[in-house]
Amino acid sequence: MQSLIPVVLSGGSGTRLWPLSREKYPKQLLPLIGEESLLQVTLRRVEGLTDIQVETPLVVCNEEYRFIIAEQLRLMETKGTILLEPAGRNTAPALTLAALAAMRDGGDPVMLVMPADHVILDKSHFQAAVREGATLAAEGAVVTFGITPDSPETGYGYIQAGEPIGTEGASSIARFVEKPDLATAQVYLDAGSYFWNSGLFMLRASVWLSAMGVCRYDILAACREAWDVRSTDGDFVRVGKEAFLQCPSDSIDYAVMERIAVGENTLPAGVMMPLSAGWSDVGAWDSLWQVLPKDHQGNVAQGDVLLHNCHNMLVMAEHRLIACVGIEDMVVVETPDAILVAHMSKTQQVKNIVDHLKREGRPEGELHRKVFRPWGWYDGVDSGERFQVKRIVVKPGAALSLQMHHHRAEHWIVVRGTAQVTRGDASYLVSENESTFIPLGARHRLVNPGCVPLEMIEVQSGSYLGEDDIVRFDDVYGR
């Protein structure tokens, strides 16, 4: 039975889906299609491949997301290896690290490489294509999946199919082409030999490493050096930071696939499998609208939404009521700290708003008001000159770091559960409807010793209230 390891690349930031997707909580971690996140749904896609031996998945991600991803895997009751990149270097180095990890026990499995932030609505058709592709990949081919286009899409790259090969529907790869203008995209659609580039691949780990040795030995060498000095912390595998920071940045397509398409003798054969399975990269709000179920007027409404005489709308409310009257072809997305209003045809330009927020140093481009931490989460309820109010929830058994602040003092009021507080040399319990005070400069720690979530209100006061005013002395999460 063929051995297959799902490799999920989870490094994108999804800026075009702002304000739901943000740099430190990107779209792959959000439940955009159902109750589970795009990452979780991606991992679910291999469930039911009973005729293939599916190994423990491998998720490649940024350090920033490690605890959120670990928690999402735990909620799925799925074990997996989380391979941490010290910095983003695009998909070719990420896949190289994954291939080294896949071969660490002496095996050479077929890797099913999947971006964490795509949607595939038809799981059965996807799995049928995977079964076909696995056979070709096991024989040494590099298999990619081309999406059968149904419109002249300008937001995707394209693959031109070459000559048919043995497996039904499969072909060689004639070339990869960049995102076209509308007229060129229409020519591609009319030709019938062009497919959308899905970013999905299947190949043996050794085949990828061999191809990288030919095409980008500099990336392979940097990744090997980083891998050789890795460390393991539970489910997390950390590669050497210094070595990986020297690694050049490149994509799978540019590094290898385009050279395979021109038929270099020293590279493995490239195969394209056509795929019609309701695929989307949900790269912008209009793409998300297309894959979500709609009412008879073409509207998608999520949350507390009222629509009157509206058509072809995407309206999402997280915090407040949104009412729309007599409009069409619009996107309205509300979060506690930001609201987006955009025409459906202009959603690719949302990235410009995020770029502006970054230039201005505003936090809305990077963080939500609700911020997740390995111990739980906090929500910035209110703030003003010299004060800030947070709602804090700590998971049962979890602990914040032993820390101190140079510029602020804190008042803690427990509203549910029991807190075990360390302040200086003292340790004591604070129960519901009780409070305590942490003076500026005092070493302190907060622990939830109970079996229910600890919920409390924190009032900070001082001359500077930034998150970087934390000196950590001990932290169970290694921060």
Residue pLDDT, tens place only, 291-323:
999 999 999 999 999 999 999 999 999 999 999
pLDDT value of residue 264: 75
Low-confidence ranges of the chain (pLDDT < 70): 1, 167
Q: Which pair of structure tokens corresponds to residue 253?
A: 């397509």
pLDDT value of residue 477: 82
Q: Token match 């390891």: residue?
A: 5
Which residues, 6 or more positions from 471, have their beta carbon under 8 angstroms from its beta carbon?
A: 403, 404, 405, 406
Q: Token match 């290898």: residue?
A: 256
pLDDT value of residue 1: 58
pLDDT value of residue 440: 95
Q: Which helix (H) or strand (E) holds 203?
A: strand 194-204
Domains and CATH numbers, the chain: 3-12+25-277 (3.90.550.10), 285-355 (no CATH), 370-474 (2.60.120.10)
Q: Residue 76 is which amino acid? A: M
A 10 A CB-CB count for 42 gives 24
pLDDT value of residue 263: 74
pLDDT value of residue 261: 85
Alpha-helical regions (H) of 192-273: 205-215, 217-228, 241-245, 252, 258-261
- Report d(CA 78, CA 219) in Å as an integer: 31
CB 427 within 8 A of CB 400: no
Closest CA to 126 of 278, 282, 277, 274: 277
- Report d(CA 304, CA 435) in Å as an integer: 35
For 83, which DSSP code? E
User: How distant, in Å, are the alpha carbons of 19, 26, 255, 285 from that of 32?
Assistant: 13, 11, 31, 11
> Whole-model pTM above 0.75?
yes
- Report d(CA 4, CA 52) in Å as an integer: 7
By CB neighbour count within 10 A (0-12 exposed, 13-18 middle, 19+ buried), where does 341 fall? exposed
